Structure 1
């Protein structure tokens, strides 16, 4: 197997596992239980009065992480995670600079996967368009030689 394909799958799985653990941790915090991973008190103070916002954010993270881990609808999952990843980078750059290397890794993985899967989607659409030209079929319904 090509090393770039292995790296793409490793990046997808690493990002999926990261968001899955983060979503589970957020659900534990949102339900009033003790979270698995410790969190910075300044960041927790941002979400202090808005459990609904935190639960909505963690629901999106959980759904997208499951899509990434199952390798289904990867590009839409990455697009849905893009603003969340940007928010993670900004929050940790301003409130928790000690976590900035990990936030940079998450941002880098997201950017790489968006580039790879976006490029792959464009190439597949072009391939289908070319195949349609050479098949001799015309129109959406392919009804006769009109």
Structure 2
């Protein structure tokens, strides 16, 4: 069976060929859609940029000096009752009620549901640390 016989009918004329080969409307140019930014990339402030590291991970780098005492965020992400196993740096939210020992995890794995702060890499040792993360509310 040939490729033409096995293909779906043309969406323009109904014949057994690809629409790109249809003689009714010869296509000479294609204008593709613009690539849509993820929410995380669209919320990136102008003072920082995202760099792709050699291992394929991402890092945030400052475009200008960001002084001590500058507040970033807040981190925006969905909350989960259980930890997503693909998250490399889990963040847990704790209840402000002392009797409630339950907590939620922030799902930072999906660029479409989070803001840019998910790209900030955790420090590997104390000398690298130049940002702190803290919980304001639950």
Same structural fold, with TM-score higher than 0.5 when normalized by the shorter chain: no
TM score, norm. by length of structure 2: 0.22
Which structure has more strand as a fraction of its residues? Answer: 2
Which structure has more helix as a fraction of its residues? Answer: 1
Point out the structure with max Rg over C-alpha. Answer: 2
